[in-house]
Amino acid sequence: MAKKVQASKHDQVQITKMDYRKKRPKAKNPVKVQDLTLRDGHQSLFATRGRTEDMIPVAEMMDEVGFWAVEVWGGATFDTMHRFLNEDPWERLRTLKRYFKRTPFSMLLRGQNLVGYRNYPDDVARAFVERAAANGMDVFRTFDALNDYRNFETVVEGIKEAGKHFQGCICYTMTEPRMGGDVYTLDYYVKKAKDLESMGADSICIKDMAGLIAPYDAYDLVKALKKAVKAPIHLHSHFTSGMSPMSHLKAIEAGVDIVDTCMSPYAYRTSHAAIEPLVMTLLGTNRDTGFDIRLLANINEVLEKEIVPKYRHLLNDTKMSVIDINVLLHQTPGGMLSNLVNQLREMNALDKLDQVYEELPRVRKELGQIPLVTPTSQIVGIQTVNNVLFDNKKERYKMITAQVKDLCYGLYGKTAIPIDKKVQKKALKGYPRGEKPITCRPADVLDMELEEVQKDVGGLAKDLDDQLICAIYPVTGRRFLKWKYGLEEAPDSVKPKTLDAVKAEEEWIKKAKEGELIEKKQQKVPPKGLNLRTFKVFVDDEFFEVGVEEGGSGAPVVSYVQACASPQQPQIAQAVPPGPPPAVPQPSAPPPPPPPPVQQTADPAPAAAKSAVEGTPLTAPMPGLIISIEVKVGDTVQEGDTVLVLEAMKMENSIPAPVSGTIKEIYFGSGDSVTKDELICVIG
Ligand code: CO
């Protein structure tokens, strides 16, 4: 049995003598643990697609473990739920609260960005925090992508007023392979921790979203922070690079108070270290978690058997390796890299990946050496891809996204180092708020919005919670409320997947692999019923669309199979990457029909119409969602005028007119999705 090990003066973990046949002694200073399974876990591994109904089966058991808190909510949760799952994000809080009777709830709050991608005005921020607290939120883990704590002011006021826990985050980032360099030094982090303490932080979190913190840096950092501030220190470190379990242990040795883990089926890869090995590692020490490993095993069994099979298809397991070496090489978040790869793939430009790696640190530096975390990771990432794809030798930053312009204006806050003057000037040319950047707190220049939203959504929103969904997500929020109140039927794609459907799919994959699908195709096809639902089945590079219908016995009846993909379109067969959900709807969904032009009574097939009009075509330079069309048929435009705003990977791009002339025809409206090179309008 364990012997008492002579602990050095600095070593804060001591192994106590323990007789394992007797009762486990209570640790003097147990490490507190926050579980992330129900938020960051499924966000990192299953594109945030976890449904409330799949959290309930383990909720009561998880409540028994003794977690410091369970994280159940965050920006991507709020977004994905109303966009892809047809679930009310507020309702999840109230539902889960009925099962978690003793464990506090925690959420990730993006400071003044709330659970969206831009800074919202103070009235929206105040209302959001108030409603989150009222719906059951206890711990508000608050971060700002620029570590500019002026963006905390309003939400912290609200958190304190509601009597809730304010956890202030320091986004951990780096420019060198280890902590240090010119900007992100030990002193930088200590200063940030002191700033948070002076704002009244109840705890301070080192938010290592990319799994960058190396074990010995974690040790030094926690030691320094413990010395500098009184508030408990919490480490959030993703597994992505493979270092986090080691970093946890070194942080624990340095006296960290709280760490974040996941239940093992939701652990590792781009998620977090698992709880079970940590429990065993600390067993019998003065930092023993006190958790019952058998209870954890029981929870895992339910997750493995009943829950995970519904999400396995979302796991990006095309690689054998569970760690991402690129993170160690490039010091950028794993989710950001996979987003870049996806974006390049959609543009048929995967061969430019090396150029992107080269351009990325340059763009980041020019944009103020900002930390890379949502949304800045996307802002820097997409701009980098735009530069690689559209710039030429003569001109850099040819296509600047609206978000980069906002950043240059100061709308996100103060950057770590000043933004490159040339880039800033170019970005702000013709910027609607003005060409001179601001230095004040960003929300000080934002007009209140809530009243306007309330007027706009009118009776569609029944309460403040509904209104906030629309305030934060204007387009998809409204669509969700229509589903919620039965004004529009929700599409099949947002409906849950049943275990029966999973089994049917697995059978089809098996048959496809055995080459039996072709024969089946020649069988007599029964008529399709009303409850038919379509599933995609991926087999290596091939993709089949399978219609599944619940039969009378409850067993799914497969009524048709259609092979859809050709090897030329391998992107369809890719699993959904971890990280924020794509802004663009599934590529296989048929685009909505173009709005009929006003002056035409009969609208021929779009293809025929598109070839009939003469003039210069304006095509989509990238796949995306049309946010707005700034012109109408008959308008005259000058070359370079903005014709439409296209959202791609959550960034807005103003698409200019390629020539001067008259708008002859427009084939899409706002809210429509377009693929790359799709004809949007004709200028003659
Ligand atoms: Co995280």
Name the pLDDT band for 208 (thresholds 50, 70, 90).
very high
Cβ-proximal residues to 298 (8 Å cutoff; 6+ apart), any chain: 61
Map tokens 């950001």 to a residue: 336
* pLDDT reported for residue 85: 96
Mean pLDDT of 464-487: 96
Measured in angstroms, how far is the CA atom of residue 37 from the centroid of ligand 1?
Answer: 11
Measured in angstroms, how far is the CA atom of residue 193 from the centroid of ligand 1?
Answer: 19
Rg of the chain (C-alpha set):
26
648: β partners:
651
CB atoms within 10 A of CB 195: 17
Measured in angstroms, how far is the CA atom of residue 119 from the centroid of ligand 1?
Answer: 20
Task: Provide φ and ψ at 136, rounded to 5°.
Answer: 125, 5
Question: Is 61 in contact with 302 (CB distance < 8 Å)?
Answer: yes
Measured in angstroms, how far is the CA atom of residue 340 from the centroid of ligand 1?
Answer: 19
Measured in angstroms, how far is the CA atom of residue 40 from the centroid of ligand 1?
Answer: 6
Measured in angstroms, how far is the CA atom of residue 579 from the centroid of ligand 1?
Answer: 10
Measured in angstroms, how far is the CA atom of residue 302 from the centroid of ligand 1?
Answer: 24
Sign of CA dihedral 297, 299, 305, 310: negative
Q: Where in the chain are all domains bearing CATH 2.40.50.100?
A: 613-683
* pLDDT reported for residue 574: 32
Measured in angstroms, how far is the CA atom of residue 326 from the centroid of ligand 1?
Answer: 18
Question: Is 83 in contact with 480 (CB distance < 8 Å)?
Answer: yes
> For all residues of the chain together, what is the average pLDDT?
86
The residue ranking higher by pLDDT, 140 or 116, is 140
Percent helix / strand / coil, the chain, rounded to 5:
40, 15, 45
Residue 176 identity (one-letter amino acid): E
Name the pLDDT band for 555 (thresholds 50, 70, 90).
very low
DSSP state, residue 235: E
Give the Cα separation of 211 and 331 in Å (integer): 9
For residue 378, the SS3 value is: helix
Measured in angstroms, how far is the CA atom of residue 300 from the centroid of ligand 1?
Answer: 21
Q: Which of 133-147, 244-258, 481-495, 520-534 has the lowest mean pLDDT?
A: 520-534
Span 298-309, pLDDT tens digits: 999 999 999 999
DSSP state, residue 357: H
Distances (CA, A) of 52 to 88, 265, 304, 355: 10, 17, 16, 41
Mean pLDDT of 408-415: 96
Buried b or exposed e, range 259-288, using 16+ CB within 10 angstroms: bbbbbbbbbbbbbbbbbbebbebbbbbbbb
* pLDDT reported for residue 18: 67
List the structure tokens of 73: 């909510």
* pLDDT reported for residue 563: 42
Question: Per-residue pLDDT for 390 more than 90?
Answer: yes
Question: Per-residue pLDDT for 508 more than 70?
Answer: yes
Question: Is 33 in contact with 62 (CB distance < 8 Å)?
Answer: no
The residue ranking higher by pLDDT, 651 or 241, is 241
DSSP string, 127-144: HHHHHHHHTT--EEEE--
Pairing of strands 258-261, 533-539: unpaired
Name the pLDDT band for 114 (thresholds 50, 70, 90).
very high
Measured in angstroms, how far is the CA atom of residue 381 from the centroid of ligand 1?
Answer: 18
* pLDDT reported for residue 185: 97
Q: Which of 190-199, 374-383, 397-406 has the lowest mean pLDDT?
A: 374-383
Mean pLDDT of 225-242: 97
The half-sphere exposure of 297 on its side-chain side, counting CA atoms within 13 A, is 5
Measured in angstroms, how far is the CA atom of residue 46 from the centroid of ligand 1?
Answer: 13
Measured in angstroms, how far is the CA atom of residue 116 from the centroid of ligand 1?
Answer: 16
Measured in angstroms, how far is the CA atom of residue 43 from the centroid of ligand 1?
Answer: 9
Cβ-proximal residues to 407 (8 Å cutoff; 6+ apart), any chain: 367, 368, 370, 376, 379, 415, 419
* pLDDT reported for residue 214: 97
Measured in angstroms, how far is the CA atom of residue 235 from the centroid of ligand 1?
Answer: 11
Question: Is 285 in contact with 15 (CB distance < 8 Å)?
Answer: yes
Question: Per-residue pLDDT for 567 more than 50?
Answer: no
Q: Which of 89-98, 191-200, 608-617 has the lowest mean pLDDT?
A: 608-617
Give the Cα separation of 504 and 557 in Å (integer): 8
Spacing of C-alpha 496 from chain mean position: 20
Measured in angstroms, how far is the CA atom of residue 272 from the centroid of ligand 1?
Answer: 8
DSSP string, 518-553: HHHHTSPPPPP-TT-EEEEEEETTEEEEEEEEE-TT
Measured in angstroms, how far is the CA atom of residue 442 from the centroid of ligand 1?
Answer: 25
Measured in angstroms, how far is the CA atom of residue 261 from the centroid of ligand 1?
Answer: 10
Measured in angstroms, how far is the CA atom of residue 161 from the centroid of ligand 1?
Answer: 26
Measured in angstroms, how far is the CA atom of residue 232 from the centroid of ligand 1?
Answer: 19
Measured in angstroms, how far is the CA atom of residue 478 from the centroid of ligand 1?
Answer: 28
Question: Per-residue pLDDT for 6 more than 60?
Answer: no
Question: Is 399 in contact with 386 (CB distance < 8 Å)?
Answer: yes
Measured in angstroms, how far is the CA atom of residue 236 from the centroid of ligand 1?
Answer: 7
Measured in angstroms, how far is the CA atom of residue 238 from the centroid of ligand 1?
Answer: 6
Span 131-173, pLDDT tens digits: 999 999 999 999 999 999 999 999 999 999 999 999 999 999 9
Measured in angstroms, how far is the CA atom of residue 168 from the centroid of ligand 1?
Answer: 14
* pLDDT reported for residue 188: 97
* pLDDT reported for residue 90: 98
Map tokens 């119409």 to a residue: 609
Mean pLDDT of 229-255: 97
Q: What percent of the chain has pLDDT over 90?
A: 63
Question: Per-residue pLDDT for 524 more than 70?
Answer: no
Question: Per-residue pLDDT for 664 more than 70?
Answer: yes
Measured in angstroms, how far is the CA atom of residue 391 from the centroid of ligand 1?
Answer: 33
* pLDDT reported for residue 530: 63
Measured in angstroms, how far is the CA atom of residue 256 from the centroid of ligand 1?
Answer: 18
Fold of 613-683: OB fold (Dihydrolipoamide Acetyltransferase, E2P) (2.40.50)
Measured in angstroms, how far is the CA atom of residue 601 from the centroid of ligand 1?
Answer: 53
Question: Is 33 in contact with 251 (CB distance < 8 Å)?
Answer: no
Domain 332-439, classified CATH 1.10.472.90, yes or no? yes
Measured in angstroms, how far is the CA atom of residue 368 from the centroid of ligand 1?
Answer: 23
Number of H helices and number of E strands within the chain? 23, 19
Measured in angstroms, how far is the CA atom of residue 47 from the centroid of ligand 1?
Answer: 13
Residue 472 identity (one-letter amino acid): I
Measured in angstroms, how far is the CA atom of residue 209 from the centroid of ligand 1?
Answer: 5
Question: Is 346 in contact with 676 (CB distance < 8 Å)?
Answer: yes
Question: Is 35 in contact with 262 (CB distance < 8 Å)?
Answer: yes
* pLDDT reported for residue 68: 98
The residue ranking higher by pLDDT, 677 or 199, is 199
Name the pLDDT band for 663 (thresholds 50, 70, 90).
very high
Q: Which of 91-100, 118-127, 322-331, 456-465 has the lowest mean pLDDT?
A: 322-331
Q: Where in the chain are all domains bearing CATH 1.10.472.90?
A: 332-439
Q: What percent of the chain has pLDDT over 70?
A: 83
CA angle 491, 114, 495 (to 5 degrees): 15
The residue ranking higher by pLDDT, 302 or 510, is 302
Cβ-proximal residues to 629 (8 Å cutoff; 6+ apart), any chain: 643, 644, 666, 668, 669, 670, 681
Cβ-proximal residues to 675 (8 Å cutoff; 6+ apart), any chain: 587, 591, 620, 623
Mean pLDDT of 558-572: 38
Q: Which of 120-129, 206-215, 395-404, 492-501 has the lowest mean pLDDT?
A: 492-501
Measured in angstroms, how far is the CA atom of residue 400 from the centroid of ligand 1?
Answer: 28
Measured in angstroms, how far is the CA atom of residue 23 from the centroid of ligand 1?
Answer: 36
Measured in angstroms, how far is the CA atom of residue 268 from the centroid of ligand 1?
Answer: 12
Give the Cα separation of 414 and 145 in Å (integer): 10
